[in-house]
Structures are given as C-alpha cells and as structure tokens.
Structure 1
Amino acid sequence: MVTALRPKPGPTRNYHFPNFLDEILPSGIRLVTAPVAKLPVVTVLVVVNAGSTNDPKGKEGVAALTAGTLLEGSKRFDGAELAEKFEQLGTSVESGADWDSAFIKITVLSRRVDEATKLLGEAISSPVFPEREIERAKAERLAEILQLETEPRGLADEKFSEFLYTEESRYSKPDEGSSESVSALSRKDVEEFYRSGYRSGSTTVIITGDISTEAARALVTRAFQDWPSGQAPHRPLIAAARTTRKSIHIVDKPDAPQSELRAGHVGLPRNHPDFFPTLVMNAVLGGLFGSRINLNLREAHGYTYGASSFYDWRRGPGPFVVSTAVQSEVTAPALREILLEIDRIRGERISEEELSLARDYLDGVFPIRYETTAAIASALATLVIYDLPANYYDSYRKNVRGVSADAVLRAARSHLHPDELQTIVVGDARVIRASVSDLNVGDMHVHSS
C-alpha cells in the first residue's frame, strides 16, 4: 500500500551520557576517565590550559606554534621517527590549540594503549622544537595569512574581530597570530611558552573507551611521570568592545562582485546562566537552515545562498555574528533585512512552531554527537575547559526542552544589542557606500584592503 503521509516519529528515547570519574592525581594532573566497552578502542586526550588567550602581548600565535610543533621531535626521536612509531601502533597523533586550550590526542586499540600512551607522554614531556620545524610552521602560517588577505571571506572574519574588540583584547587579533607577530616569533619564544604553560596543574588527561578507571590511573601515572609540576601563570582576559556605538566598516575590494557581510557585537561566555535560552533563540534567528535570517535572505529575497548567525562560545565573551555573502548591488537591502530580523525577535514572542522546530533539532541531534570514544573525550574536554557541571550532558535535552517562548524573548532582549552592532563589509566601496550609509547603521569607516 502506498501512502503520501509522512510517518510519525516515535517517542523520544532517554539518553544517558557515559559515566565518568573526575579526580586529581598526586602529580597534580587532572584525570577524567569514561569506561566505554562497546569496542576495543581507547582515546587519550591531553588538554592543557595553554590556548591562544595565554599568548604574551606582542607574541600572538605562540600558543598555536607551540602546540603545532610539539610533536616534531623529542629527546629520543625526531618527528618522522615519532610519526612512524605511532603508525606502527596503529594510530596517529594530532595536536593543536584554540582560544582556550591546547590538545594532544590519540585513538588506539585497547591492547596497544599502554605503549601508545607511554610514547605520547614521552614525546610531549621532552619536545626539542627543532629550529627548521619552527621556521616551516611559521612559513605555513604566513602563507595562510597571505591567502586570507586576498580571500574576502577570511578577511571579513579577521577584520570583524579586529574592529569589534579593544586593541588590548587578545580576541582582537587572530588566534594563530598576525603576520607581524608570527614573523617575530623565535624558537626561544616557543620553548619559554612550553616551559611556563605545559605543567601538571594546568593539564587534564581524558581517557575514554575500553579501559577501567584503575588501569587509566596507573597508565597516566607511568606515562606522565616526567611531566613538569606546578601551575601555569594566570593571564587576565580582556574582552571589552572597542566601542558601544553602532559602526560600519567597509573594507574596499575594488570591482568585487560580492560583499562579505558580518554584523554583530560582543556576546556571552560559555558558562553564562542564559546559555540554553540563548542557544534556542539563536537557532530560531540564524542557527538553522530554516531560521529566520536564512529564510528571509535566501528564500524570500534570493539575496544569498546562505546566511546564519552564531555565538562563538569561549571562556570569555566571544562574538555574536551574523554572516553572509551577497551580490554587491543588494548589500544594503540584505543588511536591512538582517537588522529587521534582529529587531523582530527582540520585539515579539516566537511562534510555537518555531520554538518546536528549534528544540526538536537541538534535542534530536544531541545523542548522535557522542557515538565514538573521540567524541566522548571531546565532550568531557568541554566540561573541563568551561567548568560545566558534571550532569551537563545528562540534563542537556531537559534544559533545551525547558526553554519557553517567553525565555527566548527575554534572551533576545538581554543578549542582542542592535544599538551596539558593528558591521563589516568586504566589497566594492564605490558600489555599496552610498546605499549602506542610508541605513543609519552608525559611523562609517572605509579601509583599503
């Protein structure tokens, strides 16, 4: 029998995040263990409080450079030898840094986890940071910056942060550093950053998969016996806005057929008590394909292939951003519609249909995010980095479901600030300047690219 009726979804099944143990070892290392015995696989994730917000002033990018070259050689093995030894154990190792932390991660068969973790501990406890690898990594970053400066999308993202935050804020500069700061970095800078930041009191080791808590504890104690003790120095985070007056910055790209458009303001820290109402509010505004901003600009007006909004969640107040790319001729109309949508969600309650769509999506996709040991380890890292409660994942769906239309309205009125919007347009100033100025979007500044 053929039917055109869509089958009804079944009842929502309960979800329980894997149990985990959170403890501090005698060495000062924090150990989080989540035994998950579905498959004979273990993920070991080392998280160090050595992200880009810890970069010393004038040395922006040193955190990323340190994490990126951490595995390029140890006292016993060079980088190629290390990579080969990990491959012989059936795994590969990766390292990196974001705003809030540095990380090193492996996923390996449980029968090889002792050898792999011992090798990992040795590698990151005795890095030598070869000069040639430092220079290679710097050259790669400088080439990336050069490419970004010629590509409007990346340029818009970087200029938005630069114009949004005060010059003293680390957030005003790229997390991996600018061409000026990266060019000036030396091997000595990397070694000093490693020595000051990579310490036991600033380190969490997360182990998930086919392993017991007792075995994980013994494993980390052995593998990290040479990890430096102590606590990394605390660097105060400045995340103040450059201005609270509405402003628009046009970065001139003569003859550009499109405009890259960003509009936003300083947002919220990740552990803000209004996280869930704000999450649902943004899903309705611009966080989903069926959100208001995307339906308006893409479906109703045909200005773009896609438009979105998001809060960049960090320890400190990251930016709230609306992002899209449009033809130059419709830059001003597109910006007008974005402003109208921000005003609309602040002005009246969303419909029950919109609320249901946002909550159903956030609720429905949640469990499938944590199906692998690596995903579970990353989730536990989020708890550690942002100091979230231990029951965060078990209560996540309930908290999403508990957001009402009134709570969304309160979040929009409290955490969307149209009078403080900073707008960045990378495009042809000759084409867009006059029409954009008619929108009354604040003081206008035109910059050369």
Structure 2
Amino acid sequence: DNTVISLRASWIKGLQRVGGFGGKSDILAKGEVYQGDPGAYKNLISMITNASAKDLKATAKKWLSNGDYVLTVIPNAQRSFNTESTVDRSQLPFPTEFPTLDLPDIQRAKLSNGLEIVLAERHDVPMINLSVQFKSGHSSDSNEQPGLASFSMSMLTEGTKRYNALQLSSKLEELGTDLYTNVGLDSSSINVSSLKSNLIPSLDLLYEVMTEAVFDEKEIERKKIRWLASIDQSLSTPNGIVSNIAPGLLYGGKNPYGKPFSGNGTRESIQWMERESMIGYTQEMLNPSNATILVVGDTNLDEITTVLENKFGTWSDSQSYQDNVIDYQNYQTPTERKIYLVDKPGAVQSLIVAGQLLPSPDTEDEIDIELMNAVIGGSFTSRLNMNLREDKSWSYGARARLSRFKGPRPMLVYAPVQTDKTVPSIQEIIREYDEYLTSRPAQTDELEAIVKDRSLGLIGQFETFGALMGGLSGVVTFNRSDDYLESLPEAYQAIKIDDIHQATNTYIDPNIWTWIIVGDLSIIENEIRELELGKIEIIKLD
C-alpha cells in the first residue's frame, strides 16, 4: 500500500509540469510511442492501484528468475516518403504572439493567535504545498556558533517524541508526502508537499517535528559525521573555498553576513555544538510571532484557514522568544582594490571571483541594477560570457551573480578559466567593465534583448507549485506588494537605456573590488603580481 501511494503521489506531482521528465507531454508521448495510445497512463494507474502482493510475486518470478534479459533489435530498412507540404521550411518558425503573465491572486488571512496565512490557489493538480516560513536564517548565527541554524533545523526531521527518524520517514511514505526543512541567509522554513486528500495527517507531522523534535544525542552524533564530511568536501573545491572566505572579506567579521554563505558552519563549531544550543535555537526562533504560513495549491482561503486554525491556532510563543533584529549595515566600504590568492596545487583551472557590495533589493533602483548586471555579466549572452567563453574559449562560462539578500548584497564575477589564461582573463574582465563605464556603455539592443528574455521567461517560471511558492516567499521576505510578481514584465519594459547608464555609473566601481583567485600559485602568482592591481594577500586554509 505504501508503494502504491508513493507512486501515485509522485505521478500526480509530475503533472505540475507541461514538459520535462514526468510532465504532461512526457506522459502522453510515452503512451503514444510505446503503446500507440496517449491515454495509456490510465491503464497503468489502474494496474498499479489494483496490484496485489500475489501479482507482484508472480511478476517477479516470471521476469527475475533467469538472471538476465536479452533484447534483440533488428532495424527496418530505411524508407523515404514524398509528401506535399505547405509549411515554409526556409526559416525557423517563430511565435507571433505571447501569453501574458497571469498568476493566482495572493490572498491573506490571520489565525486567532495572529499567525498570518498567505495563499495562492492552484486547482490544476490535487495537491498542496505549505511552508511555515520564519524571519530568521543563518545570518542570525553568532560568530561563536556558525552553523547553528542550519544544523538545528536539519535535526527537526531526525525524530520526535512519537517517531524516530525511520518511523517518521515511513509515516511520510504512507502519505506520499514530502517533509523537509530549509535554511537561507535571511529566512528558514519547514515545508510539506502533500496530496490534498492527505493534507491534515501531513500537517500533523509538520507540527510535530516543529514542536516536539527530541534532538536525540545519537542522531546528533551521526549527523555530525556527515556534516563534517560535507564541510571538508566543500573546502576541496574552488567554489566551496570562495563561499567560505568571501563573506568575511566583503563584509568583515562583525557583520551578520560575514560568515560562510553555505550556513554550514566550521569544523570546530560543528564538533563542539551541543544539544542544548539546538533546543535553545528552536525555542527562540520557531514561534508564531516570527512566522508566516505560505500555501500554494488546491484549496481556498476559507477552507485552508479553518484547517490551519484547528492545527496552529493554539500555537504560542515560547518564553525565550525575542524579536530578532539584525543590523546589516555594520560594514566598511573598501577604498581600494584588494587581491586574495588561494593556492590549489595542480589545479588545471583558476577560479576568478571579483566584485563589490550593492544596495539591498528594496532599493528603488532594483530593476535597473538587475538589468545593468544582466547586460555585462548576468546572462548567457552577456558581454563577459561572450568574451571569455564564446570568443576566446578560455572558460566554460563566466557570470556576474547578483545575490538576493535583505541587506547589502554582493555582485560577484565568477570566471573559472584554464590556468594559462588566468592573467589574460583578469585583464579582459577589467577591460569589459572599464568600457562598460566609459567608451562602450550598455546599448539599446542589449537592453531590449534582456528585457524580452526576462519578461517572457516569467511566463513559464512559475509552472510548478514549488516555483510559485518561491515567488510567494520572496514577496513575504522582502515585503513586496501582492501584485509584485505580475507587475515585473511592465517594470522591465519601463526601463530606458539612460536608466541603465545611470545605475552603472552610480553603483559599479571596479577600483574598490575585492578579488579572490583560487588556482595553482606556482604557475599564476608571479604573473598576477606583475599586473600591480593592488595589495595582494595569500590566504592559507586550515
């Protein structure tokens, strides 16, 4: 029975997508190709639903008894057909019109304890995604205990007063439900994805892991082993190294964002992390005054409010709860360019990372900044990628990433390049940005291409319940208006080329960039020093 429910749930969840693996087109095409009937999935579902243990045993005996299966395929002779066609094949087809972005209206309600509910209805698939989102992420970790938020939240699903980890997993499988936690820089969440018919028992389990996790010492020690291995693994890759050291270099040690971006902590902090600290964290952070419940799926506001009132209406703040106010502005803007080198002997590539901090996304110039970055480095057709990848073939891909933090966020160029092209690549990055600021600013055709890409891309961006939940989460996290997502195409199209030029000149300053270069210093260090870009420091990893 558990397997049948799990398969059925997986199949239903796949129906969110039009295409892709398990999407609607995939299901119909598979039936047509293999069985000559696009509706063959109905027979498959019926067969799975009605299968008995006796049927499975007989099938296994028939097909698994010989130990091997040999399939011989003899292709038919090639044949060609002459058919008349009125299709113009001299040029690629192109759509003449595009749909408009039409998302479900965001609806809001409050429970008797003040807990806010934010709902986006979707009735095309009988399932519901629900997220209890908290206003605290791993930026709330103290400098003494980095990793506390992520580790504590991960322990919620490792056992409750009624169920140990394996029993909890079994109960979820019985329901065809996914239950998981997530911790970002500025928020964290406990999430459930359930068939509508199994929502209430799924919420019972969510509430139980949120309020009755036991933090078993044996489970903690077991998880620590894997967690430490993950930290070690991250420090073995250039991207992991940068993720660990860049925050401190950009923000300084006193800023909440100055800890590793992964939120996983350090070997020392995880090794010495105690059960009492985890319990203290959850009691302080997991409270209704610090939470919002986000819902996407096959329900309506009255229905879901009643269900949630019954389950969460009596949930109250713990005595240790306090509003977590974070000061993001405690950092110093650099006055000069600095270069940090990390040795990775034998590396066949160098990872070049360079950039600066920009204002938080709540600035009125947010769209200008996004499009400004997209033209120079934030898209596949950006100048950086066209130069280092398409023109010179020095890199598999170069990008300028613009993070979405509640406070000041990094704009960082990421360019993994072949070792012998490290210095030429640095020179090209500097040249591209210098020209972007002076002799070759953003052009109208570049802006139009980016605006079209961003605007039309939004139409399919929220296809799944999870994607729509992500959009909803952003609205809540950044205090956006309820029509923010639907207003984006118009906001993009309203941007003029002068707006991009002004944003570029206002916000980009390569002369104060922080550079981090990870590679084989025996090959690249001397050449980098010869560039005389600024003060150079070699960082040695513990």
For the aligned pair, the TM-score class normalised by the smaller chain equals: over 0.9
Cross-structure match for 2:402 = 311
Change (3 A) 1:135 1:28: farther
In 2: Cα distance, 1:305 partner to 1:241 partner:
34
Q: Deviations over 1:18-76 (max 9, x none)?
A: 11212332212111122221221111111112310111231111110111111111222
Candidates 381, 391, 399, aligned match of 2:483? 391
Q: 1:281 aligns with which of 372, 376, 384?
A: 372
Aligned-residue offset at 1:137 = 2.5
Specify the SS of the correspondent of 2:352: strand
Deviations 1:125-170 (A, max 9, x none): 2111111222222222211111122222311332222322211123
Partner of 2:340: 249
Partner of 1:179: 267
Q: Which residue of 1 aligns with 2:160?
A: 74
CA contact (8 A) 1:198 1:232 kept: no
Residue among 28, 40, 45 paired with 2:131: 45
CA contact (8 A) 2:341 2:538 kept: yes
2:280 to 192, 206, 224: 192
Q: Which residue of the other structure, out of 518, 521, 527, is the alignment partner of 1:429?
A: 521
Matching residue of 1:143: 229
Q: What SS does the aligned partner of 1:438 have?
A: helix
The root-mean-square deviation of aligned C-alpha atoms, in Å, is: 1.8
- After TM superposition, the score normalised by the length of structure 2 is 0.79
Structure 2 residue ranges without an equivalent (≥5): 1-86
Moved over 4 A (4+): none
CA pair 305-424 structure 1, distance change in 2 beyond 3 A: same
Equivalent position of 1:3 in the other structure: 89
Which of 142, 149, 170 is the equivalent residue of 1:56? 142
Amino acid in the other structure paired with 1:364: L
Percent sequence identity over aligned pairs: 27
Matching residue's letter, 1:318: R
Q: Are 1:380 and 2:472 matched, yes or no?
A: yes
Matching of residues 6-405 of structure 1 within 5 Å: 6-174=92-260, 175-225=263-313, 227-229=315-317, 232-238=322-328, 240-241=331-332, 243-347=334-438, 348-405=440-497
Aligned residues: 449
Q: C-alpha distance in 2, partners of 1:334/1:93?
A: 44
Cα displacement (A) at 1:412: 1.4
CA displacement 1:54-106 (0-9 Å, x = unmatched): 11231111110111111111222222222211211111211120101111112
TM superposition shift of 1:228: 3.3
Rounded to whole Å, the distance in 2 between the matches of 1:238 and 1:13 is 40
* Aligned residue number for residue 82 of structure 2: none
Stretches of structure 1 that go unaligned for 5 or more consecutive residues are none
Cα separation, 2, equivalents of 1:46 and 1:243: 38
Distance 1:12 1:345 in 2: 32
Deviation at 1:226, TM superposition (A): 5.0
Q: Which stretch shifts more, 180-189 or 61-70?
A: 180-189
Partners in 2 of 1:172 and 1:242 — Cα distance? Answer: 14
Q: Secondary structure at the match of 2:531?
A: coil
Secondary structure at the counterpart of residue 264 of structure 2: coil
Query: Is the Cα contact below 8 Å between 2:351 and 2:517 reproduced in 1?
Result: yes
Contact 2:161-2:213 at 8 Å conserved across structures: yes
Higher CA-based Rg: 2
Distance 1:415 1:261, change over 3 A: same
